[in-house]
Amino acid sequence: MNDRIDSVEVLVSSPVRNYVTLRLRTADGLVGLGDATVNGRELAVASYLSDHVGPLLEGLDPGRIEDIWQYLYRGAYWRRGPITMAAIGAVDMALWDILGRRAGLPVYQLLGGRVRDHVPSYGHAFGWEIPQLLDAVDIHLARGARHIRVQSGVPGLDKVYGVSKDLDYEPAGRGARPPEERFDPEAYVRHAPKVLEAVREHAGPDVELLHDAHHRLTPTQAAQLGKALEPSRLFWLEDVTPAEDQEALRFVRQHTTTPLAIGEVFNTIWDCQYLIENRLIDYIRTAVVHAGGISHSRKIYALAEVHGVKAGPHGPSDVSPIAMAASIHMGASVHNWGVQEYMGYPEKVHDAFPHAWSYSDGVLQPGDAAGLGVELDEAVLSSEPYTTAYLPTARRLDGTVLDW
Ligand code: GCO
Ligand code: MG
């Protein structure tokens, strides 16, 4: 049969950042692309795909997207977790891409068509000191942004994740070991409300402000922070407590009306179920790549829709432009969409993954190319060798390891 999957390739590449890309081909020459990047664990997911998943795909009908998802998920004894789910996510994206290319339609059309004119997005503004942060906010506002994530330094600390002292913000440092940082959650909780207050004062009432606490607070600190931020009227406060302790968010929720977002490290609908069904969050942050692809993400969003929770997917530059495409196609077609994180990419990444989707004036558009609308420029993709790169490990001032 000439429409079967007949080649499975896994490309580990490093155009400025490390990416893992899955390329499926059918016997009649259609290509489907998927992103399988797990920041700092790239080779694990590459092996999972090439050693364990690829051989199963050859000869299958790429049109059986749901069945292939179930086969890779339920059909294997060991399941869940970021590596498995990113691998399944990449396969799923590639299959939707093939279906779109075969139909000559963009994926958002296959998902039911547009429900909005554009996909709202937010970018990152950071500054070590408040004046630098306000300048960064102005750059976003001048670009037309309506949603901005704001992060700043903390007095007494040398480094704070997500805040660079120069303008070159690179989240993962190359090397055999993660770099280390010291962080003081108490000092951070004391300082952050002043920062958000200054930004709100500067930017005026209309712009939506977001802030990320990176799972580093106790429930009590998180509740105190949420309360202290109420006058700054945040769009969301992200990842206040470690995501495993979901009951902690009930405590936080009981003490503050600041909207809560979590889930960038969740991998399945079962990770999200308790928080969504108990309405403990306002936004679910699963990324299409880390939560099993388009097919599974749609189920998460459908569960969220029933419970008044909106999608606010993770979209840093370690989510490749292929997964970004898949997320934008969902953003165009999913009703309960809040906002897409769009950190942006170095120019070389745009060149390595030429794409039909576009960003301007603070919003994203999926474009009208068939499938996901992303291609590969292999010369750019392979122009830098892969080397390990890790996000920093944080320790408290007394040296104990802190949550990510
Ligand atoms: C975000 C994230 C990032 C992550 C990074 C991990 O909200 O964008 O928290 O800052 O740390 O994407 O790979
Ligand atoms: Mg985050």
* CATH code where residue 43 lies: 3.30.390.10
260 and 281 share one domain: yes
% the chain with pLDDT above 70: 98
Measured from the CA of 343, which atom of ligand 1 is nearest? Answer: 8
Q: Rounded to whole angstroms, how far apart are CA atoms 63 and 98?
A: 8
25 and 90 share one domain: yes
239 and 200 share one domain: yes
Rounded to the nearest angstrom, the distance between the alpha carbon of 316 and the centre of ligand 2 is 8
For ligand 1, whether the C-beta of 316 sits within 6 Å is yes
Chain-wide mean pLDDT for the chain? 96
Domain termination residue (choose one: 106, 135, 159): 106
Domain termination residue (choose one: 40, 75, 106): 106
Rounded to the nearest angstrom, the distance between the alpha carbon of 33 and the centre of ligand 1 is 23
Q: Is a pLDDT exceeding 60 seen at residue 120?
A: yes
Rounded to the nearest angstrom, the distance between the alpha carbon of 239 and the centre of ligand 2 is 7
Which residues are bridge partners to 381 per DSSP? none
Q: Does residue 208 fall inside a structural domain?
A: yes
Measured from the CA of 404, which atom of ligand 1 is nearest? Answer: 11
214 in catalytic set? yes
Q: Is a pLDDT exceeding 90 seen at residue 165?
A: no
Q: Rounded to whole angstroms, how far apart are CA atoms 372 and 320?
A: 13
86 and 141 share one domain: no
210 and 257 share one domain: yes
- pLDDT at position 127 is 95
Q: Rounded to whole angstroms, how far apart are CA atoms 296 and 98?
A: 17
Q: Rounded to whole angstroms, how far apart are CA atoms 241 and 206?
A: 28
Q: Rounded to whole angstroms, how far apart are CA atoms 181 and 118?
A: 39
Q: Does residue 90 fall inside a structural domain?
A: yes
CA distances from 386 to 14, 87, 139, 245, 315 (A): 5, 19, 33, 35, 22
CATH number of the domain that 140 lies in? Answer: 3.20.20.120
Q: Whose CA is nearest to atom 3 of ligand 1?
A: 316
For ligand 1, whether the C-beta of 282 sits within 6 Å is no
Among candidate residues 140, 211, 214, 329, the one labeled active-site is 214
Structural domains of the chain, count = 2
Q: Is a pLDDT exceeding 60 seen at residue 67?
A: yes
171 and 310 share one domain: yes
Rounded to the nearest angstrom, the distance between the alpha carbon of 316 and the centre of ligand 1 is 6
* pLDDT digit string, tens, across residues 264-282: 999 999 999 999 999 999 9
What is the bridge-based pairing of β-strands 31-35 and 5-13? Answer: unpaired
* Encoded amino acid at 252, one letter: V
Pocket test for ligand 1, best of 18, 163, 264, 289 (most atoms within 8 A of CB): 264
For ligand 1, whether the C-beta of 297 sits within 6 Å is no
The sheet that has 31-35: what strands, in order across it?
A: 5-13, 19-26, 31-35
147 and 49 share one domain: no
- pLDDT at position 2 is 73
Range of the domain at 92: 5-106
- pLDDT at position 195 is 98
161 in catalytic set? yes
243 and 142 share one domain: yes
Q: Is a pLDDT exceeding 70 seen at residue 35?
A: yes
| 257's tokens | 């009306």
Rounded to the nearest angstrom, the distance between the alpha carbon of 315 and the centre of ligand 2 is 9
* pLDDT digit string, tens, across residues 336-387: 999 999 999 999 999 999 999 999 999 999 999 999 999 999 999 999 999 9
35 and 153 share one domain: no
158 and 19 share one domain: no
70 and 90 share one domain: yes
249 and 101 share one domain: no
Q: Rounded to whole angstroms, how far apart are CA atoms 304 and 323?
A: 21
Domain termination residue (choose one: 76, 106, 136): 106
- pLDDT at position 173 is 80
For ligand 1, whether the C-beta of 171 sits within 6 Å is yes
For ligand 1, whether the C-beta of 39 sits within 6 Å is yes
- pLDDT at position 1 is 62
Q: Whose CA is nearest to atom 12 of ligand 1?
A: 316
Q: Does residue 224 fall inside a structural domain?
A: yes
